[in-house]
């Protein structure tokens, strides 16, 4: 009976699919650095660039944080925290400021952020298919459980995009439109944002799919 060497043992235990997945995700993480992804935190109000068609005239919004936005109530005994979330109007105007900031980025910056976001969407899809699609007898006995597992895993890509500051066409379709309505962005900036972001998302998903196919995961 032949004796398996240590090198052969490592070669058999290493999965080419796993290696390909690690390389693809690592590449996406490396790409997310050079061109200035902004982590979640302080949102700078965007300057007005035209007539406001929205609920108010364009004006500077007070800087708040995306997570620690707390309304306060002044009393004789001091300041009392009354809420830990934004009110609906504050949320709308914060999203309009975010859309204006996205629209005013350079073409290369939008393409970079949307490309990496497309890779993250592909990663979420592959993760969901790999786990939910291999439940075997469990899926046959309980199809609802398989759908639940898929639905629970796919949003991982949205968490990655939010934490890395990426851009999706779906998000820009809402926030950049708000910025235009509020006079914080122009129509030409809206067209640029929508066009580049959807191309970047498609290229990112396609690139990740090619990497998964090459590594044998699909």
Mean pLDDT by 10 residues, the chain (218 residues): 48 46 50 46 50 50 45 55 76 94 94 95 92 86 90 92 92 95 94 96 96 87
pLDDT at 101: 94
Q: How far apart are CA 180 and CA 10, in angstroms?
A: 57
Model pLDDT, residue 92: 93
H or E stretch including 207?
A: helix 187-215
Q: What is the pLDDT of residue 5?
A: 52
Residue with structure tokens 């058999």? 12
**Full-prediction pTM beyond 0.75?**
no
Cross-strand bridge partners of residue 42: 65
pLDDT at 123: 94
Say what the pLDDT of residue 39 is: 45
Cβ 67 vs Cβ 140: under 8 Å: no
Predicted local confidence at residue 176, as pLDDT: 96
């Amino acid at each position: 009976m032949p004796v398996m060497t240590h090198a052969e043992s490592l070669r058999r235990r290493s999965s080419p699919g796993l290696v390909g997945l690690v390389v693809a995700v690592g590449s996406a993480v490396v790409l997310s650095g050079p061109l200035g992804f902004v982590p979640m935190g302080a949102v700078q109000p965007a300057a007005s660039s035209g007539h406001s068609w929205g609920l108010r005239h364009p004006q500077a919004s007070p800087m708040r944080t995306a997570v620690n936005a707390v309304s306060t109530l002044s009393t004789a005994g001091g300041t009392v925290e009354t809420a830990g979330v934004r009110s609906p109007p504050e949320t709308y105007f914060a999203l309009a400021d975010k859309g204006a900031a996205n629209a005013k980025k350079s073409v290369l910056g939008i393409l970079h952020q949307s490309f990496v976001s497309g890779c993250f969407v592909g990663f979420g899809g592959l993760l969901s298919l790999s786990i939910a699609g291999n439940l075997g007898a469990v899926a046959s006995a309980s199809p609802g459980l398989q759908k639940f597992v898929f639905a629970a895993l796919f949003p991982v890509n949205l968490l990655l995009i939010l934490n890395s500051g990426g851009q999706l066409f779906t998000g820009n379709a809402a926030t950049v439109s708000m910025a235009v309505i509020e006079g914080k962005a122009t129509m030409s900036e809206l067209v640029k944002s929508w066009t580049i972001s959807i191309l970047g998302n498609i290229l990112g998903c396609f690139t990740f799919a090619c990497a998964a196919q090459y590594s044998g995961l699909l």
